[in-house]
Amino acid sequence: MTENSAMLECGCPSVYPEWDNEDVDLGAWLVHEQKAPMFLHMPIGYESCLERQHRDIKRLQLSERWPGFCLTQSAMFRGRILCPLTEDNSPARHTYRLANPFHVRTRIVHGDIGAIKGTVREIQSELLDEAKMPRELYLSYLTCPRCQEERGGTKIMLLRHWVRSKKLQQRLEQQQHKN
């Protein structure tokens, strides 16, 4: 996988990080943030938000780490889209560094958005069993309806941010002592 490869004509990433079933630390990565309107966690005008973000990044003369690869966090009415950048710093608006550390557990789901529910529960259960507190959930759409057939079907990368929890670790140790 090479950084700075071009995104596909449809806007999907031609390459993306191979992070399936891994814990990755994105700590201190520079990202560009684009706000996205949502209604009950469903994006409104998602493609136009992505296009605006790509135009802004280009206008600011910044480079996407993996063109077309973005992390989408939904919310009740206003979500956000984070795009990892290759630069070390930028004074531009809407760019900032992620917290350090910023651990994420990743999974690639083969199927549409309806197929992620079980995987989200599975990741959450694994993290809790390891005394890690699940935080935000990010989605990265790796294929779209236009390119999914030629690229192996619908693929969505789930990234679950987590932090270590002393309380969960203590509970886990107490349960282990009881058994």
Domains of the chain: 23-178 (3.20.80.10)
Residue in the block written with tokens 């409104």: 44
pLDDT at 145: 84
pLDDT at 43: 84
Q: Residue 119: phi, psi to the nearest 5?
A: -70, -40
pLDDT at 3: 47
d(CA 131, CA 162): 10
pTM of the model: 0.88
Q: Per residue in 13-36, pLDDT tens?
A: 999 999 999 999 999 999 999 999
pLDDT at 17: 94
Q: Per residue in 119-169, pLDDT tens?
A: 999 999 999 999 999 999 999 999 988 888 899 899 999 999 999 999 988
For residue 131, the 8-state DSSP code is T
**Residue 10 pLDDT more than 90?**
no
d(CA 8, CA 13): 6
Q: How confident is the model at residue 174 (pLDDT cuts 50, 70, 90)?
A: confident
Contacts for 5-10: CB closer than 8 Å, 24+ residues apart: 5/66, 5/67, 6/67, 7/54, 7/64, 7/67, 7/68, 8/68, 8/147, 10/144, 10/146, 10/147
**Residue 4 pLDDT more than 70?**
no
For residue 6, the 8-state DSSP code is P
**Residue 41 pLDDT more than 80?**
no
pLDDT at 133: 96
SS3 call for 105: strand
Q: Per residue in 53-102, pLDDT tens?
A: 999 999 999 999 999 999 999 988 889 999 999 999 999 999 999 999 99
pLDDT at 134: 96
Q: DSSP letters of 135-150?
A: EEEEEEE---TTTTTT
d(CA 129, CA 89): 36
More confident residue, 43 or 123: 123
